[in-house]
Amino acid sequence: MPNAGPEPPSAAGRRRLRRRDLLIAAMGLALVGGGPVRADEAPWIIFCADDFPPFCWNMPGKGPAGLDVELVSAMLERANAPHDIQQMAWGRAMAGLEQGRCDILFGLVPSEQRFRDFLMVGPFREGEIAFAVRADSNITFQTLDDLAGLTVGTTQRNHYGEAFDNATQFTRDPARNDQLSLLKLLAGRVDLVVGNRLALAWKAKQEGISDKIRFLPKPLLVSSHYMALPRDRGEKAARLEAARQSLIRDGGLDAIIARWRVTG
């Protein structure tokens, strides 16, 4: 997932995005907290990853769980939006968004192309993109040139920032998820793995390999995470953005994030 890095927009692009945010918020303010769910409103179809703890995963017997699930659910509830969260492999979820088979996919890191292709609402949290290596590795990282000639484990259909995504001095070896990337790392098939620091640490703990890997001190970047909607879902995007801003103002999102930092 859910989960990779942003491609920062240009200054002009940032101005356009700010104007877009203001427009979406203005459209949506009247829709948030404006009464009960309409009886005839169909549930919004929400796609997310099924294996990206601690942000989004399937908890046996309980269904969707994780920090991002709670954040997005809070925004949907504030928007009075009935919803159905459906979990699947990240690549399948991205394909569903592109084909318009869902109303929202959450956990995306922004890129210029994603802002062109979708209605991007957010950010709703930030995350650190870091490199994991084997515990006995002597690899260091200050710039991407330090990765020259190495093989980096990535996750399919993720972005890791414009500089990383466009770099040619190293090889990328994509896997379906972080677990497989970490197993490749231990098997010596890749030299290092890139991903969300907390998600990689969580998965390493689950696999019982925390003592076999370490994180390089310098992160690749700090990324923002967004929700994406097909471009014909403007009214839903407006409601969602207004709900996001409302929860920022009253501290609702920060309270959820703070609780997860303490309890997980």
Identify whether 69 is part of a domain.
yes
Identify whether 237 is part of a domain.
yes
Identify whether 117 is part of a domain.
yes
Distance, in Å, from the CA atom of 192 to the CA atom of 173, rounded to the nearest integer, reads 10
Q: What are the pLDDT digits (tens) for 91-138?
A: 999 999 999 999 999 999 888 899 999 999 999 999 999 999 999 999
80 phi, psi to nearest 5 deg: 55, 40
88 shares a domain with 108: yes
236 shares a domain with 121: yes
Identify whether 70 is part of a domain.
yes
Listed residue (48, 41, 95) closest to 72, CA to CA: 48
Q: What are the pLDDT digits (tens) for 126-143?
A: 999 999 999 999 999 999
User: For the domain that residue 161 is a member of, what is the CATH number?
Assistant: 3.40.190.10
65 shares a domain with 143: no
140 shares a domain with 32: no
Identify whether 2 is part of a domain.
no
171 shares a domain with 215: yes
For the question of whether the overall pTM of this predicted structure is more than 0.95, the answer is no
Q: Tell me which residue range forms the domain holding 213.
A: 128-221
Distance, in Å, from the CA atom of 4 to the CA atom of 67, rounded to the nearest integer, reads 16
30 shares a domain with 102: yes
Per-residue confidence band for 157, with pLDDT thresholds at 50, 70 and 90: confident
The pair of three-digit structure tokens given for residue 20, joined into one six-digit string: 């877009």
pLDDT score of 4: 41
Q: Are β-strands 44-49 and 83-88 bridged in parallel, bridged antiparallel, or unpaired? A: parallel
Q: What are the pLDDT digits (tens) for 59-75?
A: 898 899 999 999 999 99
Count structural domains, the chain.
2
Distance, in Å, from the CA atom of 210 to the CA atom of 107, rounded to the nearest integer, reads 25
Identify whether 4 is part of a domain.
no
The pair of three-digit structure tokens given for residue 123, joined into one six-digit string: 């950010």
Listed residue (84, 78, 85) closest to 37, CA to CA: 78
